[in-house]
Structure 1
């Protein structure tokens, strides 16, 4: 019996140490200086996490001025996260998208409006049926101006809804591109069950809220 108790104590201690290290590492990510991504061929990049990246990728690709939306992982404290590892919550990452856009056509401010209009802004650690820290809502800023835009819109929405807004605000550090099979998933698999029952309805709800920002050929 004593041996069992000792073994459990060691396991518990190891677990607590891992959690402490994880928490410390995650705090370092949250408190870091933001990394600003330079324009490339006149195009800017922005980063958002809002539940399943299959859904979010399709939403942003329907917006005028958005050239591409890429699924991946951001906001964590480990290198080279994978879908399997991020789903455990141990890496600290959330499923995220990298938005490549023309700032002369669509502003960062509008992209933040799209973000809030395309989700349940009060749901903590998830969107719809997707639950867990890997599905939490995060908006990433690259400079003080972006941070101010995010915080002002978040505060205004909280007042409008008279509720706490779940989205976290992180300094951008690094975006890890997800596995190839996740890219353009909604477009390539329109009849898949999750896409039909969750992703497409979420896209349609967004389109009904912000028709003025949609591309003419938006599906």
Structure 2
């Protein structure tokens, strides 16, 4: 795959909102509001999802990351949640305030006959800035750090090899700080966070941060997109 050099500036958004600030500025009821124009699509059952592989990534606000992976061909379902820490049953308020060691993360269910783990790693690195420590766009804190999780030695090798390629090709102007971490457990986030970008298109953070980030990914990775996303 041809590597695409992304200027650092495109990742630094001059938005006054952040994923974290929602805890301070909105009530839970407000966060749960959804657009009346959104058509809900049936979710796959747990039994149906068992036939697919899973991958786990963290790269900033999970609303953004979920929407990006949902647009990728071969991806069957994506859930927002928390991973990378040791505390049990983390909540959004605890994680967003940095009261745990978890990061906002996503669980990706995918069909390996359509898209490979290697390609998902390419999606991960191509859709965020892996050189900003504990930060992604306007979101700051270790809960927004960049993490590529691996479940076995093969996945670890794929991630590390891809990082080596990116650095050898000087794709980014600064060193990659992404953590390569063995996957332990994924805690699914509260229901109102699932499909948040799609269900809340008028939210200020979604308009100013999430949608522009998704559109940049779609522009640069057209061959990775589902047909209905083009």
TM range (shorter): 0.7 to 0.9
Equivalent residue in structure 2 for 1:165, among 176, 180, 184: 176
- 1:138 matches 2:147: yes
TM-score (norm 2): 0.76
Give the secondary structure class of the aligned counterpart of 2:213.
helix
- 1:116 matches 2:97: no
User: In the alignment, is the contact (CA less than 8 A) between 2:49 and 2:109 conserved in 1?
Assistant: no
Q: Compared with structure 1, are the counterparts of its residues 61 and 122 closer, same or farther at alpha carbon in structure 2 (3 Å cutoff)? A: same
* Counterpart residue number, 1:70: 79
* Counterpart residue number, 1:209: 220
Q: 1:124 offset after TM fit, Å?
A: 1.0
- 1:200 matches 2:211: yes
Q: 1:168 offset after TM fit, Å?
A: 0.3
Give the secondary structure class of the aligned counterpart of 1:70.
strand
Q: Distance in 1 between matches of 2:142 and 2:168?
A: 25
Q: Distance in 2 between matches of 1:53 and 1:40?
A: 20
- 1:148 matches 2:157: yes
Q: Could you give the per-residue CA deviations for residues 144-169 of structure 1, whole angstroms, max 9, x where no partner exists? A: 00000000111111222253102101
Q: Distance in 1 between matches of 2:98 and 2:200?
A: 26
Give the secondary structure class of the aligned counterpart of 1:119.
coil
Q: Distance in 2 between matches of 1:176 and 1:69?
A: 13
Q: Which runs of 5+ in 2 are unaligned?
A: 1-47
Give the secondary structure class of the aligned counterpart of 2:228.
coil
* Counterpart residue number, 1:43: 52
Q: Distance in 1 between matches of 2:169 and 2:214?
A: 23
User: In the alignment, is the contact (CA less than 8 A) between 2:148 and 2:178 conserved in 1?
Assistant: yes
Q: Distance in 1 between matches of 2:97 and 2:165?
A: 33
* Counterpart residue number, 1:177: 188
Q: Distance in 2 between matches of 1:40 and 1:90?
A: 31
TM-score (norm 1): 0.80
Structure with larger Rg = 1
Q: Distance in 1 between matches of 2:191 and 2:94?
A: 16
Q: Could you give the per-residue CA deviations for residues 17-72 of structure 1, whole angstroms, max 9, x where no partner exists? A: xxxxxxxxxxxxxxxxxxxxxx9643000000000000000000000000011000
Q: Which runs of 5+ in 1 are unaligned?
A: 1-38
Q: Distance in 2 between matches of 1:203 and 1:172?
A: 25
Give the secondary structure class of the aligned counterpart of 1:67.
strand
Q: Distance in 2 between matches of 1:151 and 1:171?
A: 12
